[in-house]
Structure 1
């Protein structure tokens, strides 16, 4: 967990060190475009899917077809942030703050298990 105004870019090494299955790709926006991050991802066997910044002299290639899947991630964050408590970080401690996204995610996902044909809208 990072601070509210801190870039998530700083948390990438901790994310890569997590004891979970290794992803095949790392989808991120232009804010994550940097040679050191790309090298770190490739070192771990993870394909970076990051569009290059406009000011790069020799821009690396990007799989824009795979990058379109990032939209799904952004929509999920949007659904989670519909809970004002998450978006505004009302909780004083990290422990209580980190518990609430799990509750919000369960609130979003549970209807899908009951009715598989249900489409989630922004009013969840």
Structure 2
């Protein structure tokens, strides 16, 4: 993760258990970013997280699961970035209309 966030300014990181590492949490604390990471059950020192923001993480994760129901998006069948983005907008509109 550090190479992905290097040089990018942000105020917080919302992530799941895969990103629960002491090194990442320490780097985010140095930056002054708010950490909202679903914690691994075996974590020795539990982190305090904002429950309201955590519920938003869950809603976003559920939305991505619904997007993956569309085979064309899950398989990345579109040939160009523009057509892929259009498919995501179309699928989001269908999901929103349900």
Give the TM-score normalised by structure 2.
Answer: 0.70
Answer yes or no: is the 8 Å Cα contact 1:30–1:52 preserved in 2: yes
Pairing of 1:1-80 with structure 2 (within 5 A): 12-17=1-6, 22-80=9-67
* Greater relative CO, 1 or 2 (CA 8 Å, sep 6+): 2
Show structure 1 runs of 5+ residues with no match.
Answer: 1-11, 112-118
The answer for the alignment partner of 2:88 in structure 1 is: 105
Show structure 2 runs of 5+ residues with no match.
Answer: none
Taking the aligned partners of 2:28 and 2:16, their CA distance within structure 1 comes to: 15
1:39: how far off?
1.6
Taking the aligned partners of 2:2 and 2:63, their CA distance within structure 1 comes to: 23
Q: Once superposed, what is the RMSD of the aligned Cα atoms?
A: 2.9
Q: Which has the higher helix share?
A: 2
SS of residue matched to 1:48 = strand
Answer yes or no: is the 8 Å Cα contact 2:68–2:74 preserved in 1: yes
Structure 1 residues 51 and 74, CA gap change in structure 2 (3 angstroms): closer
Aligned length: 97
1:35: how far off?
0.5
Answer yes or no: is the 8 Å Cα contact 2:12–2:33 preserved in 1: yes
